[in-house]
């Protein structure tokens, strides 16, 4: 099964070599020719290519013990007539090795030059080890290791019990495996292989179409706008393109956008935006709020001035809150007016008094 | 002299004060004008709160050799498989969610701030400055809560759909709302079809959420709240019509959407480009057949033109989306190209979504190979930056890579697509974890199949395992590539990767790996060979470990066991040693014993391995192992058994093959007396193999021969 896969892939490689890229062979020709004189000079070069040939032929040759010999020497189980199932793949696989060598020879002859050298190169390319410059013996053997043992086995005429079991289980496996591993994947995988020999994809320019001729360039007008819709669209877009942060800075960015950390650059007035447009003097000089109701002197004035000093140093109140605070005292004192007048601390002389005096 | 200087300094200070006074509070930007003392501070550059952070973040490159930032916290727990990554990230977020849940459930415990100024501590939580809304408990709306229009505005703003509906009901329904709020709510309801959207806060949940493919079927809630609000609105404004039509079209209530559009047109209510875009997106639901549909599409475009509305890039993607969903074929492709050309004439560049739909239309799985991607990529490469404009934009890169891998099989183009994704800020267009992994699946597959070996390994080293963990099918492809490339070292490492990625239980994959290891074993360095042997031994051990665990835990679905071929591959790899004391011999024994006990499916594909093993074991001095192997071969009926038993016996007895053969022709009885037990087992295997007799017969015969031998020995 596995070696079969391997062979199939080899063929794939080979087919690509042969059919898909004819220019490559053309390009290779001079290279081969250029190498020829060098090879002739070398002592071992000739013999090595011959060795390769011999090896290839040996692989094609029959197994060491022929069938008849085998039966002569060992008593074998009586042959049972079997139904010959037309196992297409099996037959194909047997001939693949032969086909490869044959095809390689043909190609080499078509190219001309040093035929054997070219053939050996082609074969070495096909059979795994991709090593163009040195077609050594070991390279070839390495590439063919699996296939050789396979070959000897397949020429055996009768199936032993072991092989029978093997064949059946393998067949069963190939059949049952498909549904088990997602079938879609399988078809996807097999498709490209079939498509391999297809022609080059034809390129289409996407801007080559004929315009419909409906719209004329004119004033841009998109009609009514939907605020919330737009906003939600943006939200969905952000969701679709957001990614988990990839470093601490990005995490900080996310937190900043969610409003969980101080904004950079650090501003200790963040979150006090409503006070942004209030002048600082309105926070500090709040004595003016006393004018008009507070006595100009005496304990109440003294108390209120202290309140103002305290408030002016308070960083947490808004100007409005400070004003309200003072107004609370105003109401308080005014509600206690009677008592205050009695003990003589509620004199509004300088303010209201002067105004009265002038009138 | 001095006084002069002092004077000028005073002057400068005065000027400064003047300038200060002239700008209210001194908070305005300093003027670029030159001050008299020669010092001119540069004008202030206004920066957003995240600008500095973004600049800093840009200095941190991605390190493919490190785990993602979210997995950093505990180096011992850095996840390596897809499953673990997912559960790690989601668990971390689950912790945050639990905290948020407690905060919301027990909101009353979180109303005070320790750091508030003392006199304000008694007032509710919103008094701290700055107030952090993200940390404040979410308001809960139920039947008792007192709500104002402000609450409704808040819920709409934050897309809290269910809360918005609740508040709407508490406020007294349609009649007690002003038009502006009604319209906002209508838009919210239409946009989400009255379904609560995903929260913005839980990034990981969205990232790992299973891809929900948008279903192209009518899901619009007929007679829902949106419909009610719309009917109650009087007079029906253009905005109201737009909202309801867009909502219906978005959820494929095509007929009613078109009827309403018709109604609006008859009443002379102007609509918007967005409305027409949504109508174009669902025009296929009105008609059957390609020609009728194309006609309908064109008539809508014409209508748009009559209304004086100009198309935008979303018009283009809406058209292409409709066209691509109608199937394939020359006619549709022509229409699509016409629409693209029309928009190009108006200066509208196709968005990523438009390109995505074009790819869907042209590059069909079964169809002819059409290369439009090269042009698209060239166009995108020329753009300064790629901005996401629609949520569907995230489909582009995964589809483009899929086309590179399956349709065009072009590794160069794939590299260009990848380079484009890695450029600038484009990586955010990869979408979510699911899409990302499909994207990399395509990339790795196409690279394995068509790229040079060095490039492939380079890519794999960058991506695996921190950025991408290959799925089993991709792993298979990688193993195949490594085998062809003859990288034994990496193949040996692939086993540990399989374990780490959680694929080690996939028997098919492990078997593939084993055969790959066998195929490229011979020409590796000694060091690598040792590594491969180690890996093979480990595979067997892992299998046994899993079985033990299975027995202990009583699992429902037993894992598949390694096949006989895989076991024989292990045997082949591990038996490659001349040293009797090599620990791998125990692995070999173990494997052969398993074969013998029929714990593996099928029979070995290459029985020659076992024949070789028998000989090797005999040479090294492990006759029991040799006997075991030969017996197994004979029992399975492999023809190699005869030759193997003869040769093994030859090695054991240190005699030439012919002599052994003649010896074997002798009486069993005499053999039994003269041979070592394991040699006798080999001889028996020979007989089984030769006569082809079934096992029980040979057993009985051997039993009889044993008794014979005993009697004969007694005689002696």
B341/A contact by beta carbon, under 8 A: yes
Q: Show residues of chain A in contact with B300, CB under 8 Å.
A: none
Nearest chain A residue to B315, by CA: A222
Chain B nearest-CA distance from A135, in A, is 15
Euclidean distance between CA atoms B409 and B491, whole angstroms: 25
Residue contact B341–A237, C-beta within 8 A: no
Residue contact A6–B512, C-beta within 8 A: no
Residue contact B187–A226, C-beta within 8 A: yes
The larger pLDDT score, comparing residue A51 to residue B332, is at B332
For the stretch A41-96, pLDDT in tens is 445 555 666 777 776 666 665 555 556 666 666 665 655 544 454 454 544 555 66
The larger pLDDT score, comparing residue A136 to residue B215, is at B215
Predicted confidence band at A349 (pLDDT cuts at 50, 70, 90)? low
Q: Show residues of chain B in contact with A318, CB under 8 Å.
A: none
Beta strand residue intervals within A57-118, DSSP E: none
The larger pLDDT score, comparing residue B314 to residue A270, is at B314
Euclidean distance between CA atoms B532 and B577, whole angstroms: 13
Which one of B271, B512, B603 has the shortest CB-CB distance to A162? Answer: B603
For the stretch B116-140, pLDDT in tens is 555 555 555 445 556 677 887 888 8
| Mean pLDDT, range B44-56, rounded to an integer | 89
Check pLDDT > 50 for residue B500: yes
For the stretch B337-385, pLDDT in tens is 999 999 988 888 999 999 999 999 998 887 788 889 999 999 999 988 8
pLDDT of B353 reads 94
Which one of B60, B239, B431 has the shortest CB-CB distance to A249? Answer: B60
ipTM score: 0.80
Chain B nearest-CA distance from A262, in A, is 9
Q: Which of residues 520-559 of B touch A (CB under 8 A)?
A: 522-523
The larger pLDDT score, comparing residue A39 to residue B186, is at B186
Check pLDDT > 50 for residue A133: no
Check pLDDT > 70 for residue B608: yes
pLDDT of B75 reads 85
b/e per residue, B611-623, with b = 16+ CB within 10 A? bbbbbbbbebebb
pLDDT of B532 reads 92
| Mean pLDDT, range A132-141, rounded to an integer | 38
Q: Which region among A200-209, B217-226, B323-332, B393-402 has the lowest average model confidence (pLDDT)?
A: A200-209
Share of chain B above pLDDT 90, in %: 31
Most confident of B36-45, B180-189, B594-603, B650-659: B180-189
Check pLDDT > 70 for residue A355: no
Contact B681, B699 (CB under 8 A): no
pLDDT of B451 reads 92
pLDDT of B89 reads 92
Check pLDDT > 70 for residue A185: no
Helices (H) and strands (E) in chain B, counts: 33, 1
A265 cis-preceded (ω within 30 degrees of 0): yes
Q: Show residues of chain A in contact with B473, CB under 8 Å.
A: 181-182, 185, 189
Nearest CA among B228, B218, B245 for reference residue B165: B228
Predicted confidence band at A309 (pLDDT cuts at 50, 70, 90)? very high
Chain B nearest-CA distance from A23, in A, is 19
pLDDT of B710 reads 37
Query: Which contiguous run of DSSP H or E holds residue B509?
Result: helix B507-519
Contact B182, B234 (CB under 8 A): no
Check pLDDT > 80 for residue B85: yes
Residue contact A204–B519, C-beta within 8 A: no
Q: Show residues of chain B in contact with A283, CB under 8 Å.
A: none
Chain B nearest-CA distance from A348, in A, is 32
Residue contact B311–A215, C-beta within 8 A: yes
Chain A nearest-CA distance from B652, in A, is 22
Most A CBs within 10 A among B20, B24, B50, B456, hence the mutation to make, goes to: B50
Which one of A161, A222, A240 has the shortest CB-CB distance to B272? Answer: A222
Q: At what angle do helices B677-691 and B640-653 cross, to 10 degrees?
A: 160
Check pLDDT > 60 for residue A134: no
- Total Cβ atoms within 10 A of residue B442: 23
Predicted confidence band at B667 (pLDDT cuts at 50, 70, 90)? low
Euclidean distance between CA atoms B69 and B464, whole angstroms: 16
The larger pLDDT score, comparing residue A147 to residue B522, is at B522
Q: Show residues of chain B in contact with A263, CB under 8 Å.
A: 49
B268/A contact by beta carbon, under 8 A: no
Q: How many contacts, defined by CB atoms under 8 Å, are there between A and B?
A: 314
Predicted confidence band at B470 (pLDDT cuts at 50, 70, 90)? very high
pLDDT of A184 reads 42
pLDDT of B672 reads 66
pLDDT of A76 reads 58
Helices (H) and strands (E) in chain A, counts: 16, 1
Predicted confidence band at B517 (pLDDT cuts at 50, 70, 90)? very high
pLDDT of A170 reads 60
Nearest chain A residue to B446, by CA: A192
A189-195: long-range pairs with CB below 8 Å, 24+: A189/B473, A191/B365, A191/B406, A192/B406, A192/B409, A192/B449, A193/A12, A195/B369, A195/B409
pLDDT of B471 reads 92
Query: Which contiguous run of DSSP H or E holds residue B371?
Result: strand B370-371
B148: its two tokens: 């104002």
Burial status of residue A274 (CB atoms within 10 A of its CB: 0-12, 13-18, 19 or more)? exposed
- Residue A228 C-beta-side C-alpha neighbours within 13 Å: 29
B47/A contact by beta carbon, under 8 A: yes
Predicted confidence band at A34 (pLDDT cuts at 50, 70, 90)? very low
Most A CBs within 10 A among B602, B634, B688, hence the mutation to make, goes to: B602
Q: Which region among A14-23, A263-272, B197-206 has the lowest average model confidence (pLDDT)?
A: A14-23
Most confident of A187-196, B236-245, B575-584: B236-245
| Mean pLDDT, range A14-30, rounded to an integer | 43
Q: Which region among A36-40, A162-166, B129-133 has the lowest average model confidence (pLDDT)?
A: A36-40
Contact A51, A137 (CB under 8 A): yes
Q: Which of residues 208-247 of B touch A (CB under 8 A)?
A: 238-239, 242-243, 246
Check pLDDT > 90 for residue B246: yes
Q: Which of residues 581-610 of B touch A (CB under 8 A)?
A: 601-608
Q: B126 to each of A311, B110, B137, how far by Cα in Å?
A: 21, 11, 11
Contact B372, B382 (CB under 8 A): no
pLDDT of B38 reads 81
Residue contact A214–B642, C-beta within 8 A: no
Nearest CA among B666, B626, B617 for reference residue B645: B626
Predicted confidence band at A163 (pLDDT cuts at 50, 70, 90)? low
Secondary structure of residue B229 in the 3-state scheme: helix
Which one of B135, B345, B484 has the shortest CB-CB distance to A260? Answer: B135
Nearest CA among B105, B95, B111, B114 for reference residue B140: B105
Check pLDDT > 50 for residue B408: yes
Euclidean distance between CA atoms A277 and A274, whole angstroms: 7
B130 cis-preceded (ω within 30 degrees of 0): yes
Predicted confidence band at B558 (pLDDT cuts at 50, 70, 90)? low
pLDDT of A50 reads 72
Give the contacts of B147 (CB within 8 A, at least 6 positions apart). B141, B167, B170, B171
Parallel/antiparallel/unpaired status of strands A202-203 and B370-371? parallel
The larger pLDDT score, comparing residue B177 to residue A49, is at B177
Chain B nearest-CA distance from A142, in A, is 7
**Alpha carbon A213 to chain centroid, angstroms:** 40
pLDDT of B416 reads 94
Q: Show residues of chain A in contact with B480, CB under 8 Å.
A: 9
Check pLDDT > 50 for residue A131: no
Residue contact A243–B428, C-beta within 8 A: yes
Which one of A235, A244, A271 has the shortest CB-CB distance to B131? Answer: A271
The larger pLDDT score, comparing residue B102 to residue A218, is at B102
b/e per residue, A330-350, with b = 16+ CB within 10 A? eeebeeeeeebeeeebbbeee
Q: Show residues of chain B in contact with A192, CB under 8 Å.
A: 406, 409, 449
Domain boundaries, chain A: 1-65+88-158, 274-358
């Amino acid at each position: 099964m596995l070696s079969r896969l391997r062979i199939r892939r080899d063929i794939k490689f080979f087919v690509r070599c042969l059919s898909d890229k004819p220019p490559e062979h053309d390009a290779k020709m001079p290279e081969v020719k250029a190498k020829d004189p060098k090879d002739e000079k070398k002592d071992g070069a000739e013999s090595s290519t011959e060795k390769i040939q011999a090896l290839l032929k040996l692989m094609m040759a029959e197994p060491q013990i022929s069938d008849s010999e085998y039966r002569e020497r060992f008593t074998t189980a009586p042959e049972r007539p079997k139904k010959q199932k037309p196992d297409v793949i099996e037959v194909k696989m047997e001939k693949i090795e032969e086909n490869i060598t044959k095809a390689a020879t043909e190609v080499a002859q078509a190219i001309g030059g040093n035929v054997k050298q070219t053939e050996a190169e082609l074969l070495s390319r096909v059979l795994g080890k991709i090593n163009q410059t040195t077609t050594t013996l070991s390279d070839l053997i390495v590439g063919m290791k699996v296939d050789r043992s396979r070959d000897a086995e397949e020429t055996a005429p009768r199936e032993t019990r072991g092989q029978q079991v093997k064949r059946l289980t393998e067949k069963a496996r190939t059949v049952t495996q498909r549904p088990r591993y997602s079938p879609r994947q399988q078809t996807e995988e097999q498709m490209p292989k079939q498509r391999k020999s297809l022609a080059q994809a034809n390129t289409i320019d996407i801007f080559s179409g004929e315009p419909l001729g409906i719209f004329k360039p004119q004033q841009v007008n998109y009609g009514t706008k939907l605020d919330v819709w737009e906003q939600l669209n943006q939200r969905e877009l952000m969701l679709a393109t957001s990614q988990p942060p990839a470093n601490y800075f990005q995490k900080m960015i996310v937190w900043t956008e969610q409003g969980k950390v101080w904004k950079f650059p650090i501003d200790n007035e963040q979150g006090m935006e409503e006070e942004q447009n209030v002048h600082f003097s309105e926070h500090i000089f709040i004595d003016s709020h006393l004018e008009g109701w507070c006595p100009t002197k005496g304990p109440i004035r003294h108390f209120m001035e202290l309140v103002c000093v305290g408030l002016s140093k308070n960083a947490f109140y808004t100007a409005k809150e400070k004003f309200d605070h003072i107004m609370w005292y105003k109401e308080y004192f005014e509600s206690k007016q009677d008592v205050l007048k009695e003990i003589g601390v509620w004199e509004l002389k300088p303010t209201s008094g002067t105004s009265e005096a002038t009138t | 002299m001095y006084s002069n200087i002092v004077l000028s300094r005073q002057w400068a200070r005065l000027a400064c004060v003047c300038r200060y006074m002239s700008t209210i509070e001194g908070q305005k930007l300093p003027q670029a004008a030159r001050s008299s003392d020669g010092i001119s501070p540069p004008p202030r550059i206004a920066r957003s709160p995240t600008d500095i952070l973004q600049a800093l973040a840009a200095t941190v490159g991605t390190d493919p050799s490190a785990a993602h930032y979210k997995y950093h916290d505990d180096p011992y727990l850095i996840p390596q498989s897809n499953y673990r990554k997912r559960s790690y990230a989601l668990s971390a977020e689950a912790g945050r969610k639990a905290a948020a849940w407690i905060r919301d459930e027990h909101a009353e415990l979180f109303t005070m701030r320790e750091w508030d100024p003392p006199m304000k501590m008694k007032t509710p939580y919103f008094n701290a400055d700055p107030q952090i809304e993200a940390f404040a408990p979410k308001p809960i709306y139920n039947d008792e809560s007192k709500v104002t229009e402000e609450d409704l505005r808040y819920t709409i703003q934050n897309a809290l759909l269910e809360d918005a509906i609740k508040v709407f009901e508490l406020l007294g329904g349609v009649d007690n709302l002003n038009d502006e709020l009604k319209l906002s709510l209508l838009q919210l309801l239409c946009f989400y079809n009255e379904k609560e959207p995903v929260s913005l806060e839980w990034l990981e949940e969205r990232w790992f959420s299973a891809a929900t493919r948008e279903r192209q079927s009518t899901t619009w809630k007929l007679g829902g709240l949106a419909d009610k609000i719309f009917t109650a609105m009087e007079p029906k404004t253009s905005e109201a019509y737009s909202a309801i039509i867009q909502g219906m079209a978005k959820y494929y209530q095509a007929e009613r959407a078109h009827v309403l559009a018709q109604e609006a047109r008859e009443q002379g209510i102007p609509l918007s480009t967005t409305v027409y875009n949504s109508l174009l997106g669902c025009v296929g639901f009105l008609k059957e057949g390609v020609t009728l549909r194309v006609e309908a599409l064109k008539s809508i475009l014409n209508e748009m033109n009559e209304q004086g509305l100009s198309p935008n890039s979303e018009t283009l993607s809406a058209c292409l989306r409709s066209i691509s969903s109608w199937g394939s074929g020359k006619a549709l492709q022509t229409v699509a190209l016409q629409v693209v050309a029309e928009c190009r004439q108006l200066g509208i560049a196709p968005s990523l979504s438009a390109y995505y739909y074009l790819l869907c239309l042209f590059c069909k799985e079964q169809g002819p190979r059409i290369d439009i991607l090269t042009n698209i990529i060239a166009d995108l490469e020329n753009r300064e930056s790629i901005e996401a404009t629609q949520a569907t934009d995230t489909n582009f890169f995964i589809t483009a890579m899929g086309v590179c891998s399956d349709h065009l099989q072009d590794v160069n183009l794939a590299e260009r697509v990848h380079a484009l994704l890695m450029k600038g800020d484009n990586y955010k267009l990869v979408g979510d974890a699911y899409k990302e992994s499909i994207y990399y699946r395509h990339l790795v597959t196409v690279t394995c199949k068509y790229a040079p070996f060095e490039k492939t390994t380079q890519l794999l080293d960058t991506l695996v395992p921190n950025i991408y963990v290959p799925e089993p099918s991709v792993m298979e492809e990688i193993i195949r590539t490594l085998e062809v490339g003859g990288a034994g070292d990496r193949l040996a490492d692939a086993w540990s990767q399989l374990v780490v990625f959680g694929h080690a239980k996939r028997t098919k994959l492990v078997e593939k790996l084993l055969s790959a290891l066998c195929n490229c074993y011979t020409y590796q360095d000694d060091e690598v060979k040792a590594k491969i042997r180690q890996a093979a031994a480990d595979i067997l051990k892992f299998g046994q470990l899993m079985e033990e665990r299975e027995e202990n835990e009583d699992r429902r679905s037993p894992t598949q066991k390694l096949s006989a071929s895989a076991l024989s591959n292990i045997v082949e790899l591990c038996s490659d040693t001349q040293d009797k004391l090599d620990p791998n011999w125990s692995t070999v024994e173990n494997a052969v014993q398993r074969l013998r006990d029929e714990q593996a499916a099928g029979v070995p594909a290459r029985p020659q391995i076992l024949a070789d093993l028998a000989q090797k074991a005999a040479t090294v001095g492990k006759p029991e192992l040799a006997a075991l192997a030969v017996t197994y071969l004979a029992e399975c009926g492999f023809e190699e058994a005869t030759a193997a038993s003869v040769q093994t016996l030859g090695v054991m007895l240190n005699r030439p093959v012919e002599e052994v053969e003649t010896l074997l022709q002798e009486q069993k009885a005499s053999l039994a007396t003269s041979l070592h037990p394991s040699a006798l087992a080999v001889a028996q295997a020979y007989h089984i193999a030769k006569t082809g007799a079934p096992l029980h017969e040979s057993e009985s015969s051997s039993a009889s021969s044993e008794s014979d031998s005993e009697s004969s020995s007694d005689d002696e």
